Amino acid sequence: MSQPFGPDNTPYEAIGGDAEVRALVDTFYDHMDQDPQFKIIRELHPDDLDESRDKLYEFLCGWLGGPQHYIQKRGHPRLRMRHAPFPIGERERDQWLECMGRAMDDRGIEGDLRSFLNQRFAQVADFMRNQ
């Protein structure tokens, strides 16, 4: 796939900026919280998802090429270290990806941006596996 993104068109900008990243995260967590299909990954989260929503939003902004909210607030993401206490195997990875896929469907993310995000989310989700 040719890279449709660059300094003048980051994935953050292509997705629609701050408000759309927040909406994607909220849609993701709404699915996780409300759909019994995602019970396994929901149980890995606290009852109150507000902090989880904030952390994923902050991380995704920077990861997509936008403002580095997460690093400014919390330091280096250290994703594997921060996820180490949670058992993450293929089922958890696949549920996370399915949940994010539904969120992207709901937000109308498609085309080159969707292909790019599918690939990148799959790489990161697989990297998080510790089981």
DSSP string covering 5-40: -BTTB-HHHHHTSHHHHHHHHHHHHHHHHH-GGGHH
What mean pLDDT do residues 33-62 have? 96
Collapsed DSSP state (helix, strand, coil) of residue 85: coil
pLDDT attached to residue 1:
36
Assigned token pair, 62: 């920077």
* Domains contained in the chain, CATH given: 12-127 (1.10.490.10)
Of the candidate ranges 13-17, 50-54, 84-88, the one whose mean pLDDT is the lowest = 84-88
With a cut of 80, say whether residue 32 has pLDDT above it.
yes
What is residue 6's predicted lDDT score, i.e. its pLDDT? 66
Q: How far is CA 104 from CA 7, 30, 99, 122, in A?
A: 23, 12, 9, 14
pTM score of the predicted model: 0.91
Cβ atoms within 10 Å of 105's Cβ, excluding its own: 13
Between 23 and 79, residue with greater pLDDT:
23
Q: Which range (65-69, 83-87, 91-95) has the least confidence?
A: 83-87
Per-residue pLDDT band for 5 (boundaries 50, 70, 90) equals: low
